[in-house]
Amino acid sequence: MKTVYAIREGTLRMICEAAVQTYPREFLAALKAEEGVIVEVVVLPGTIQGDYHSVMYTNMLPTDYSVVGTVHSHPGHSNRPSEADLQFFSHFGGVHIITCLPYDETSWRAYDSNGRRVPIQTVP
């Protein structure tokens, strides 16, 4: 898996806005990176966004090696992964972002496929 060390500020803003628009349901999408920087959010067809869960059909992902992980929102104030999140992380991607209320530039965290926090900085 490619190493990811940063996310573009505009991509993070888009994630926050999508979480706000989806609230109280969870927002879920895939992440694409270029040269270690997350640059794009990919919403897959058929993604289910529920009140306490989301379902992504990873078989709908294009064959694209720039897809490095996922992002989703929690409808409360915790950005810690749930047991279901940890199970999903272990089967797909290398970096997973969770954002929570108030869905701003301070309310997100990144995790690896084992659920360990990873440092991701924001870049212009």
Q: In this model, does residue 80 exceed pLDDT 90?
A: yes
Two structure tokens written together for 42: 């990919």
Q: Which residue is listed with tokens 């360990």?
A: 116
pLDDT in tens, 87-113: 989 887 799 999 999 999 999 999 999
Residue 71 has what pLDDT? Answer: 95
* Boundaries of every domain in the chain: 6-117
Beta carbons of 77 and 94 less than 8 angstroms apart: no
pLDDT tens sequence across 59-75: 556 667 688 999 999 99
Q: What is the mean pLDDT of residues 23-37?
A: 93
For residue 95, count CB atoms less than 10 angstroms from its CB and return exposed for 0-12, middle for 13-18, buried for 19 or more.
buried
Q: Which among 36, 40, 19, 37 has a CA at the least distance from the CA of 28?
A: 19
Alpha helix stretches (DSSP H) within the chain: 9-22, 83-89
**6-117 has which fold?**
Cytidine Deaminase; domain 2 (3.40.140)
